[in-house]
Structure 1
Amino acid sequence: MGQCYGKNISVVEEDDNISPAGDRPQTPSTSTAGNGAVSVPAVKNSSHSSSNSPWPSPYPHGTGTSPLPPGISPSPARSTPRRFFRRPFPPPSPAKHIKASLVKRFGHPKPKEGPIPEDGGTQVERPLDKSFGYSKNFEAKYELGKEVGRGHFGHTCSAKGKKGELKGHLVAVKIISKAKMTTAISIEDVRREVKILKALSGNQNLVKFYDACEDANNVYVVMELCEGGELLDRILSRGGRYTEEDAKVIIVQILNVVAFCHLQGVVHRDLKPENFLFTTRDEDALMKLIDFGLSDFIRPDERLNDIVGSAYYVAPEVLHRSYTMEADIWSIGVITYILLCGSRPFWARTESGIFRAVLRADPNFDDSPWPVVSPEAKDFVKRLLNKDHRKRMTAAQALTHPWLRDINCPVPLDILIYKLVKSYLRATPFKRAALKALSKALTEDELVYLRTQYRLLEPHKDGRVSHENFKMALIRNATDAMKESRVPDILSTMEQLSHRKMDFEEFCAAAISTYQLEALEKWEQIASTAFEYFEQEGNRVTSVDELAREMNLGSTAYSILNDWIRSSDGKLSFLGYTKFLHGVTIRSSNTRHQPSA
């Protein structure tokens, strides 16, 4: 199979996934169809518990600017008739297991066939429990209005509250048919989506959840009505792209809400322009993140393994079936790329082709309009679209990037600092010395982020922070979602700070990521300066055996580690220092070089 390169195609250019209206691009995703084929469009492969919601967005698209007829949802993934491949995706496409997993999730399209039991009896399956425990008086509380969208599993209507706090207020009601819930997994998907919406609250860029009801036939999810239309429509109305200044306003709102979700331990997994709606049609209207049907809670140090999302926005590590919150950051990078140039960074005419482009191709920053885009904007996109998920900025870090600094927006607490500080506290004195030397070589751009995070911990009067500071910072930002994802559990791994305090200099050493610094163009200069500090204050004589123990490596790594130690004085060389900083995965290298049996 030949190499597949990303091709920059205008967002409004036709391809083989154009909608019937002929003027909207498709967002390939994966779902099952009635004939058991894999269709385009939502990527869903479940071996890990996760949420998958093929139902339409609960928010109506406003009238006037949409190219679609009234009453039809404008989202490409929701409104376009399903298209089928005549043959399965060819290996090595990572999508090859999707079909079987989706059948498991949504049920077989026709009755199962199999041998008749020898005793002549019939196999009786236990009926599914489709009781959710939600309020049963939907009709008494809400008056349904017109239908504003329809999907495979249900439809969406506007409605007006009849009583209580919502009396007289317009809302959006997502109506999910229980008849379409044919597996225990699909039932759990609905339950999880409602649970996440209910647990997340308090962010201005996140859609408000009001209520959940049910009756014998449907589940009703009542949410905020957003009448300003999708971000995708605004991109199209501008001819396919935004100016840098206008794009910043959009990206800041996206980063703000995603940083909030990540702090709470929620990964969205389907970030795309169709899932951001404006509250009104005003040019400066607030933008809201919607559709948590594919979202999931993620515990500290947990990795997900189900292929989920929309093909154009899916991260490489999702296709490799091992990912966490960084997958959302990749999707933000794709959105930013589209906003700035009007083209997709990864493109192909089939879903498997898109996947190969995501895995193998590099985004094009040479064609128009990139030559006139600012270097800061290009650096921003590149640091989000790094194929190594460890080298991407977090959402909170991205808000401190030089490209966005003139926006002067608040920077939220970053869960990453908790994970990094935890690792630092568990590190050996030798490793801490190496990190302290690295922190002294940081430039002002990196220090902006660290100072912001340190201030959010609200240091004591002596300017230092303790375990209590980290605990109280989490409490100030906590929602029910944080408890569900068990984010506070990370504090138990930071108990060493209960007996001492950390000043800003040590905090910088603890809260920096070598991988992220390696993504910078000036990394070699930073590393060289850091090694000079390390030579003066932290480098010492070490043996291969001791270094292997420091890095928790076996004797098979000795031949590689030997190259890291200078023969002249027995201390770490510059190469050894940079490798030692992030603990290169030597065992993987050894495995690759072993002869096959």
Structure 2
Amino acid sequence: MGACHGKQIQNPEFQEEESLQIPNARQATPVAGTPQQGKFPFCSPSPLPGSYKNSPANSSVTSSPLRFLKRPFPPPSPAKHIRALLARRYGSVKPNEASIPEGSEVEVGLDKNFGFLKQFFSKFELGEEVGRGHFGYTCSGKVKKGDMKGQEVAIKVIPKAKMTTAISVEDARREVRILSSLAGHKNLVRFYDAYEDEDNVYIVMELCNGGELLERILLSGGKYSEEDAKAVIVQILSVVSFCHLQGVVHRDLKPENFLFTSGDEKSTLKAIDFGLSDFVKPDERLNDIVGSAYYVAPEVLHRCYGTEADMWSVGVIAYILLCGSRPFWARTESGIFRAVLKAEPSFDDPPWPSLSSQAKDFVKKLLNKDYRKRMTAAQALCHPWLWNPEEAKIPLDIMIYKLIRAYICSSSLRKSALRALAKTLKVNQLYYLREQFALLGPNKSGYISLQNLKTALLNDSTEAMKDSKVLDFVNMVSSLQYRKLDFEEFAAAAISVHQMEALDTWEQHARQGYEFFEKDANRPIMIDELASELGLSPSVPIHVVLQDWIRHSDGKLSLLGFVKLLHGVSLRRQC
């Protein structure tokens, strides 16, 4: 919704940025381009076209900080198609705006009765407005009676008059459901209750008096030191990993949506504003385009995304924290989207040359345009730049469950290839896997069963898991018939080939893995047999597709075939 609990900054260079809420948007069309061929020809290319460089990335238009200019640019004008799609979802953007075709009319007979508590004003005193979004506003407030009498709270007010479509009604209903079910995390704003009357919905939450993360960035002169940035990013990743494990994707992560609990320099950071959040099952993808332009991930613009989109936004925040400018900039929303799809963030301008190589590597692994190669929140917490063995508490990663299911359903040949690749992992790469294995509770003999997957998840479950159907997914995985896994096989099952392809050392891993495979598992194989193992349809031109996978000299898998086999059955991208 774009509402926030902290006071807005009156600075012409950093005006508040609106969130995009456009579920019916047409898929963004990438600018034509041809991907460059890498040194390693059999690597799977990024699903997006090649990028251009030297895009303007050091100018400011809205709320997030960047390098200061002699005169500020005006805020960008909303693109026409975005304004139209906003209107289709929520009715006219302006009270007297002419109606827009394709369903912008107010839907007749909308049920705006949410079943929330009544008598709001008998229990709360509404204070001054402290933040305003596109479809509502946030006020301070005070509890008038009950156990919390006298306590200050934040109250988000959503006028029912603004709910002109069934989608907007469901958005408000879902925001309350998510806030109420995601209870207990220290970096998540505390939800108290929801009320309603004839005119408004009132969401009562914890009041954070420390201001927005954006304000702190500006007060720091536009950028943080590496150590200060780490402290912020660890807290952001902690709450994001918690949400993702429960099957919730925030979809509007930005500095304005993180508040400090107090003015103390080391006060706790809290995530707020779940107005655009949604539930997502681990094996499902979302397709509505929502978020804030500067923080939106490429796959969101392609209308096929999951929790990885939040990690892109975290990468943008990290970039801003470390250098004080946005990685992607343009004067218009369409230009911003084009930059997100095509431009590469600059790491050449100051202060990047003076920052650690680990800090740059961290940001680059989050701002990878191929979502499959991006770090998860749990993996990011294990990154060498952030890892602190004395303080780190690595959370369970739902991606482990997806990878294990894919492994179990794979052919025996692919399992052998993955086990060979896992043998090439270095100690620092195994750290994350060892932490995940330990969270699954191996027995004294060092084995886990698939039932361990369910047991471990239930230890961290909230009510959100029911709505997101994460538990249904895990029940399906744990019901599969498979032997117990020791750590060696777990590492093979939980390894992400796409993420390894993003490493500078990928070529060495692939060649070394192939050597292990040649020694232990490679054997003569017919093309028809390989096609059967991969589950290819007879309608596929098998000989054309697979002829380069097999060496003609001895009928064994070639290096190309080995690398392709690592990716499994699918010979085309998911999105």
Using the aligned pairs only, state the percent identity. 60
State whether residues 466 and 498 of structure 1, in contact with CA within 8 Å, keep that contact through their aligned partners in structure 2.
no
Residue 89 of structure 2 aligns with an amino acid whose one-letter code is: R
1:171-250 pair list within 5 angstroms: 171-250=153-232
Q: Which residue of 2 aligns with 1:295?
A: 277
Task: Within 5 Å, give how 1:297-316 maps onto structure 2.
Answer: 297-316=279-298
Question: Which secondary structure state, in structure 2, belongs to the residue aligned with residue 483 of structure 1?
Answer: helix
TM superposition shift of 1:185: 1.5
What is aligned with 2:445? 462
Specify the alignment match of 2:507 in structure 1: 524
Q: What CA deviation, in whole Å up to 9, does each residue of 1:358-411 have, x standing for no partner? A: 000111111111111111111111110000000001000110011111363101
Structure 1 partner of 2:255: 273
Asked if 1:353 is matched to 2:335, the reply is yes
C-alpha distance in 1 between matches for 2:100 and 2:237:
49
Aligned residue number for residue 560 of structure 2: 575
| Distance of aligned partners of 1:111 and 1:565 in 2 relative to their CA distance in 1, 3 Å threshold | same
Offset of residue 545 of structure 1: 2.2
SS of the residue 1:158 aligns to: strand
1:286 paired residue number: 268
Distance 2:76 2:343 in 1: 26
Whether the 8 Å contact between 1:196 and 1:481 is mirrored in structure 2 is: yes
- Partner of 2:34 in structure 1? none
Q: What residue ranges of structure 1 are gaps of 5+ in the alignment? A: 1-18, 29-40, 49-74, 90-95, 115-122, 590-597
Q: Secondary structure at the match of 2:386?
A: helix
- Residue 504 of structure 1, CA deviation: 0.7
1:441 aligns with: 424
CA displacement 1:143-169 (0-9 Å, x = unmatched): 222222334433322111122332221
For 1:191 and 1:552, the matched residues in 2 are separated by 43
Deviation readout 1:451-472 (Å, 9 max, x if unpaired)? 0001111111221111221111
Aligned match for 1:387, one of 357, 365, 369: 369
Provide, for residues 223-265 of structure 1, a one-character-per-residue CA deviation record: whole Å limited to 9, x for no partner: 0000001111111111111111111101100110000000000
The answer to whether the 8 A contact 2:75-2:331 is kept is no
C-alpha contact 2:527 2:542 (8 A) present in aligned 1: no
Distance 1:586 1:465 in 2: 31
Instruction: Report the alpha carbon displacement of residue 22 of structure 1 after superposing the two structures with TM.
Output: 4.0
Residue type at the aligned position of 1:42: S
User: TM-score under structure 2 normalisation?
Assistant: 0.85
User: Quick check: 1:564 aligned with 2:568?
Assistant: no
- Structure-2 residue corresponding to 1:421: 404
Q: Deviation string for 1:556-586 (max 9, x for gaps)?
A: 2532321121111111111111111114864
Contact 1:468/1:498 (<8 A) preserved: no
* Residue in 2 that maps onto 1:25: 14
In structure 1, what is the Cα distance between the partners aligned to 2:455 and 2:510?
A: 34
Are 1:259 and 2:237 counterparts?
Answer: no
Change (3 A) 1:161 1:236: same
Conserved 8 A contact 1:557-1:587: no
Does the CA-based 8 Å contact 1:27-1:311 persist in structure 2?
A: no
Opposite residue 507 of structure 1, the aligned amino acid is: F
Q: Does 1:319 align with 2:304?
A: no
Instruction: Tell me if structure 2 keeps the 8 A contact 1:242–1:340.
Output: yes
Q: Give me the whole-angstrom Cα distance separating, in 2, the residues matched to 1:557 and 1:383.
A: 35
Distance 1:161 1:21 in 2: 29
User: For 1:326-348, what per-residue CA distance to the aligned partner results, in whole angstroms no more than 9, with x for missing partners?
Assistant: 00000001111111111111111
Q: Which moved more, 1:542-551 or 1:448-457?
A: 542-551
Match of 2:413 in 1: 430
**How far did residue 485 of structure 1 move?**
0.4
Amino acid at match of 2:226: E
After TM superposition, the score normalised by the length of structure 1 is 0.82
Give 3-state SS (helix, strand or coil) of 2:294's partner. Answer: helix
**Structure 1 counterpart of 2:32:** none
- Identify unmatched segments of 5+ residues in structure 2: 1-7, 26-61, 65-73
Contact 1:425 1:496 in 2 (8 A): no
Change (3 A) 1:259 1:143: same
Change beyond 3 A, Cα 1:283–1:583: same
| Aligned residue identity for 1:327 | A
SS in structure 2 at match of 1:437: helix
Q: What corresponds to 1:362 in structure 2?
A: 344
User: In structure 1, which of residues 95, 99, 106 is the aligned counterpart of residue 90 of structure 2?
Assistant: 106
Residues 106-126 of structure 1 deviation map (CA, whole Å, 9 limit, x = unaligned): 124557699xxxxxxxx9974
Cα distance, 1:190–1:421 mapped onto 2, change above 3 Å: same
Q: Aligned residue for 2:383?
A: 401
- Residue 477 of structure 1: CA displacement? 0.4
For residues 396 and 474 of structure 1, the distance between their equivalents in structure 2, rounded to whole angstroms, comes to 14
CA distance in 2, matches of 1:584, 1:498: 20
- CA contact under 8 A between 2:281 and 2:473: conserved in structure 1? no
Distance across 2 between alignment mates of 1:446 and 1:354? 35
User: CA offset at residue 551 of structure 1?
Assistant: 2.7
SS at match of 1:403: coil
Query: Deviation of residue 136 (structure 1)?
Result: 0.6
2:521 aligns with: 538
Residue correspondences, number: 513
Q: Which whole-Å CA distance do the structure 1 matches of 2:277 and 2:136 have between them? A: 19
| 1:2-50 residue CA offsets vs partner (Å, 9 max, x unmatched) | xxxxxxxxxxxxxxxxx9944442465xxxxxxxxxxxx32221149xx
Amino acid at match of 1:524: E
Q: Secondary structure at the match of 1:404?
A: coil
| 2:76–2:332 CA contact under 8 A, matched in 1 | no
Among 514, 534, 558, the residue aligned to 1:551: 534
Q: Tell me the secondary structure at the aligned position of residue 103 of structure 1.
A: helix
Aligned partner of 1:42 in structure 2 is: 19
Question: Contact (CA 8 Å) 1:194, 1:221: kept in 2 or not?
Answer: yes
